[in-house]
Structures are given as C-alpha cells and as structure tokens.
Amino acid sequence: MGKQKAAPPMRFEPSDFSTDKYRCVNVINLRDRCPVIIMASESCDPPYYRVVDGSLEMFYLSYSEAVDYCRQSGYMHKNNFSGGLL
C-alpha cells in the first residue's frame, strides 16, 4: 500500500465565527491547534475586542491592544492570518 497524503490543515475565515453579539474581524490559523480569533462587540460604542485563544478569553478596549497580545504571544505570522485590519 502507498502512503496516504495527510489532509491539508483546516483554514477558517472570520465569517465562520461571527455571531449576533460579536463580529469576527480576524482569524489566526495555527498549524497544530485551534485558531485564535479576534472579535469586535456589536452592542457597544465604541466596541471592545475579545481574543479567544482556546479556553482563554481576553478583552481589550482597542483593536491595537488585542493585536499586540497576539503578536507578543507569537501567534501572528503572514501565513496564518485571515482578516483585513492589520
């Protein structure tokens, strides 16, 4: 028997995670684990930003603070980012 090709990793888009309360603005697709997502609240003005990293959820008052967390955690690379606000 020949070798079977491994399935390509799943790639998620922001629309996969948007809800009535949160609009997903970015998805960071990670190779060997769940994606990290950045969401903007739909009910607050100005919106706050929620970063979901597995079972952790962090909340930030600005988009730049949410992105800084993701960069400092080593999540952001050109090849794993889906979204349009960077």
At residue 22, does pLDDT exceed 60? yes
- Tracing tokens 């309360």 back to the chain, one arrives at 21
Question: Is residue 39 scored above 60 in pLDDT?
Answer: yes
Phi, psi of 75 (to 5 degrees): -85, -30
Give yes or no for residue 85 having a pLDDT over 50: no
> Could you tell me which residues are beta bridge partners of residue 58?
51
Amino acid at 33: R
> Higher-confidence residue: 83 or 64?
64
Please state, rounded to an integer, the average pLDDT across all residues of the chain.
84
Q: What is the pLDDT of residue 86?
A: 42
Tell me if the pTM is above 0.75: yes
Rounded to an integer, what distance in angstroms lies between the CA atom of residue 5 and that of residue 16? 26
